[in-house]
Amino acid sequence: MIHVLAMITAKPGMREQILEHFRANMPAVHAEQGCIEYGPAIDAEGMGKIQTPLGGDTFVVIEKWESLDALKAHGAAPHMAAYAAKTREMIASRVIHVLTPAS
């Protein structure tokens, strides 16, 4: 299994617009072969000192894929290219961590 954490930081005030496009794209991603989990997450409220906040412009995409091949196919999917084209100018930064379970 492959885990992905993608940290997306929007340009100021644009996070919700990106998330609207993201949510519209989710059904196509969930239908991809090998997709186990794919969804956005934002800071939980009221966590106090235990939390290092991402902030109001950032969200994390939490993904699980059956294999590296499934993840590569996801990256090459036409709906992902369309999503990238719609959101490119709204994104300030994107950091992607591709992980494998530690044994």
Read off the pLDDT of residues 14-34 as tens digits, 9 standing for 90 and up. 999 999 999 999 999 999 999
Assess whether pLDDT exceeds 90 at residue 67: yes
Share of the chain above pLDDT 90, in %: 90
Q: Give the residue extent of every domain in the chain.
A: 2-43+52-99
CATH 3.30.70.100 is right for the domain spanning 2-43+52-99: yes
Q: 0.85 exceeded by the pTM? A: yes
Give the model's confidence band at 47: pLDDT under 50 very low, under 70 low, under 90 confident, else very high: confident
DSSP string over 16-41: HHHHHHHHHHHHHHHTSTTEEEEEEE
Give the model's confidence band at 98: pLDDT under 50 very low, under 70 low, under 90 confident, else very high: very high
pLDDT of res. 70: 98
pLDDT of res. 102: 94
Q: Do 13 and 82 touch, CB atoms closer than 8 A?
A: no
pLDDT of res. 48: 86
